[in-house]
Homo-oligomer: A and B are copies of this chain.
């Protein structure tokens, strides 16, 4: 088995996932390397962050620089020179949200590139081919993510299609495995915010050979209460021995919520995206580097953080760089926020191991209420 559960505390689990590129301690937050680059950072930065797992977007890499080029480079790990685990999404979400979607049917999707308008077709088989060419460590299946809000009929239609695509994906995967492919495989579980549909999806997914379950269809604009309620009712239905990956979530607070409901892996552009807008996370709450009080504050972003940005640079310096539109500000702020997410995951893992997850979560919430960050 590629996943071991080392400890549990309530629904929260401490685990270890073995991949083609190392072992990952879970819960883990995976930075997003949309275009084979975690924005503003290089791969030495990922090493310094201890980021042993990242997400890359199949849709983006398929369109640019192209899967064949990456294959010729020896795969995505060699192309970008990263030796940790790479999980690739299916491209389904981007086709629906970024591309000019032309047609969708039981065989796949036809769309126009958001970059140059060129026409492309993705099928379940092609999505496996793309991930195989990329050489990622963990593959996902083409899915249809319903919008929010969606009627139950809409969500059901999307689920039915996702289910059918998953059958085709499983067949394509089986062929690849017979050829020697060793990537892990995570089907994407849809069903919108309808418990009956999520149950149907969970039951179907349980019958497919899978190394873990990706939880899709969240973080699409729904109220947070609905996120957590639906997530909780879904994870309860899943096999305990497989890792659960919640796609596109989230903030530090979201991490606690998700992990408390049995999620093991998460990814989100949030920490780097908000950093590029000046927003910083700390153990005492968040703040924006553009706030006027930062301009004369010669202390670090977070006195409790040991990252190189906090050890080397003051808020006043970073505020100056940000206001002066210096590129370096974007890297330094992104690095700190990702370090904050990594530290948070380490803290959660320690708390689960020691059976004090709830107390640690409470302490986190109280710390964030301090608005003097």
Contacts and interface: CB of A to CB of B under 8 A. Distances in A.
A72 B330 contact: no
Copies in the complex: 2
Contact of A316 (B69, B326, B332): B69
Contacts of A36: 317, 320-321
A274 interface: no
Contacts of A42: 312, 328, 331-332
Interface stretch (A73-81, A175-183, A347-355): A73-81
Contact of A40 (B35, B79, B320, B328): B328
A289 to B, nearest CB: 13
Contacts of A317: 36, 73, 79-81
Contacts of A313: 81
Majority SS of interface residues in chain A? helix
A35 B324 contact: yes
B308 A64 contact: no
A342 B349 CA distance: 45
A58 B206 CA distance: 66
**For A72, A74, A79, A295, which residue has the most chain B Cβ atoms within 10 angstroms?**
A79
A55 to B, nearest CB: 16
A39 interface: yes
12 contacts: A42-B328, A42-B332, A64-B323, A65-B316, A65-B319, A69-B295, A69-B296, A79-B314, A79-B316, A81-B312, A327-B327, A331-B331
